[in-house]
Amino acid sequence: MKRFRQASWDEPLISELSTPGRIGMTVPTDPAVRRRFRDPTSLVPASLRRKSVKLPELSELQVLRHFNRLSQMNFSVELGMYPLGSCTMKYNPKVSEMVASSDGMKQAHPLQPAETVQGILSIFYELERYLSEITGMYRFSLSTAAGAQGEFAGVLMIRKYLDDHGGKERDEILVPDSAHGTNPASAAMAGFKVVKVPSDANGQVRAETVKGLCSERTAGMMFTVPNTLGLFEGEVAEVSRAVHLAGGLMYYDGANMNALLGRARPGDMGFDIVHLNLHKTFATPHGGGGPGAGPVGVTRKLAEYLPVPVVAKGKAGYSLDYALKHTIGPLKGFVGNSAVLLRAYVYIRLLGASGLADVSSMAVLAANYLWKSLDPEAYPPSHGKELRRKHEAVVSVKSELPGAALTVAKAVLDYGMHAPTVYFPLIVHEALMIEPTESEPVEMLDEYAAALNDIYRRMKEGSLGEVPKNTSVGKVDEVKASHPMTLRVHW
């Protein structure tokens, strides 16, 4: 029996709940405030006023119920386990949120003179130093707003650096076949030709393969380590050497740094450029499209190429520096998404160096524990059975039925938990990509593995039926969902 009426897709619009004359606000008693309150439009010049705004008329309780019910249609890390591979849906500590929403932060305006925002600028300056230390880079620009934008900044820097150093004709970027789709997209947007690097049977990029693909056309390589299969690339140092020898630059996709934090640095593996996803590894709530931060870091020889502004420290204090000599220019307004940057700063200060190393230990332990708890007959590993997983594990659902991974993903929703990423990386048949992160207690990992094993058993004996059953929205008709599409705005 249902304890309460669950929100559903055909929830009435708030305007449909409206009753003329019903009022949901408390009118202040002070006559001056009251005068304004009765007619708030009097603050707006008459010429700009609309004749009728047609606001819905409801009681306070009706409004509360409406929005609370809609909020039940959401899923979040704070409701249940959310092991969406490659997305690092970790717990975002509330203390970061408190600092990010403190008054001083909320009131700050990007056009304020630098001398009035020295505090926040000093925080960004320190954050840049921390990120440089964590990755082994020389300098970071914090402005880029997402991983993909960090990548784009990175490949633009490769283009400009090569143009300045006799490499104008270099127009190829190597990208492994296991890469995130944003890698080839960023390279193509910057005008490069994308050369696909095939992984071997163990899901690894071999230095020999890379050597064979390098030429005088090579501008660089975009490399994700650990890769999207959750595996460390054992030949990364040799791969870097090969690309450098050929005259190219090495780009590190650090969207998911969870496995390396405090333990290994891309700078020490030979990378020249790095981006980090602060909204993933450094704990900002994400999903649903933002806001994020994808700062981009470089070695010394590329420091003047960074996107501007960067935070500078001089005799007169901190300021935003727009005058880097070879900069690719600004890619985003001002210093970037400052609340995301501030949360990352708090997260790093909260954990300290040893805490960050604990994060990677726990993230790797959780991924391996969960992976080993799965029925290997049902969910065989896609690659490198003998290799230890890093931040995530990719398995292939063993089934003759097409769409088996999708069915498992839909079914797991009925257990009150989020699905893994499905059908990615593209080189894995019926892929489930599972990234539990360091924040899940072992009981949750057990529960998740038990759910997946149970789902497979039910699927095999044919008793699964239509899934999901317990969610506000059932399985959507993928065809009807896009054609014809009817959008309803719930406000």
Q: Which is nearer to ligand PLP, 170 or 279 (CB)?
A: 279
Q: Report whether 383 contacts 317 (CB < 8 A).
A: no
What sign does the dihedral 58-60-62-63 (CA atoms) show? positive
- To the nearest whole angstrom, how small is the minimum distance from the Cβ of residue 254 to ligand PLP? 8
Nearest distance from C-beta of residue 344 to ligand PLP, angstroms: 13
Residues 236 and 223 sit within 8 Å (Cβ to Cβ): yes
User: Between 232 and 456, whose beta carbon lies closer to ligand PLP?
Assistant: 232
Instruction: Give the shortest CB-52-to-ligand PLP separation in angstroms.
Output: 42
d(CA 418, CA 76): 8
Nearer Cβ to ligand PLP (127/255): 255
Q: Which is nearer to ligand PLP, 154 or 247 (CB)?
A: 154
Q: Which residues of the chain form contacts with ligand PLP (CB under 6 A)?
A: 86, 146-148, 180, 182, 224, 228, 253, 255-256, 277, 292, 294
Assess whether the previous peptide bond of 56 is cis (omega < 30° from 0): no
> What minimum distance in Å lies between the beta carbon of 114 and ligand PLP?
28
Question: Which residue, 277 or 360, is less far from ligand PLP as judged by CB?
Answer: 277
Shortest separation between residue 286's beta carbon and ligand PLP, angstroms: 8
Query: Could you tell me the smallest distance in angstroms from the CB atom of residue 181 to ligand PLP?
Result: 8
Least separation in angstroms between CB 256 and ligand PLP = 5
Looking at the Cβ atoms of 282 and 318, the one nearer to ligand PLP is 282
Please name the residue ranges forming H helices in 337-490. 338-373, 404-413, 442-461, 478-482
Which C-beta is closer to ligand PLP: that of 128 or that of 151? Answer: 151
Between residues 178 and 319, which has the closer beta carbon with respect to ligand PLP?
178
Whole-angstrom distance, CA of residue 358 vs CA of residue 118? 32
Q: Minimal distance in Å, beta carbon 162 to ligand PLP?
A: 23
DSSP tag of 84: B
Maximum Cα–Cα distance across the chain: 81
- Tokens (6 digits) for 430: 């019926």
Beta pairing class for 310-314 and 317-321: antiparallel
Helix axis angle for 147-164 and 182-189, nearest 10°, is 40
Minimum distance from residue 14 beta carbon to ligand PLP (Å): 32
Closest residue to ligand PLP, Cβ-based?
147
Per-residue burial over 276-298, b if 16 or more Cβ lie within 10 Å, else e, is bbbbbbbbbbbeeeeebbbbbbb
Buried b (16+ CB within 10 A) or exposed e, 372-395: eebeeebbebbbbeebebbbbbbb
Of 66 and 180, which CB lies nearer to ligand PLP in the complex structure?
Answer: 180
CB of 441 to ligand PLP, least distance (A): 24
What is the C-alpha separation between 283 and 97, in angstroms, rounded? 10
Considering the complex, state which of residue 124 and residue 152 has its C-beta at the smaller distance from ligand PLP: 152
What's the burial of 217, exposed, middle or buried (CB within 10 Å: 0-12/13-18/19+)?
A: middle
Cis preceding-peptide flag for 307 (omega within 30 of 0): no
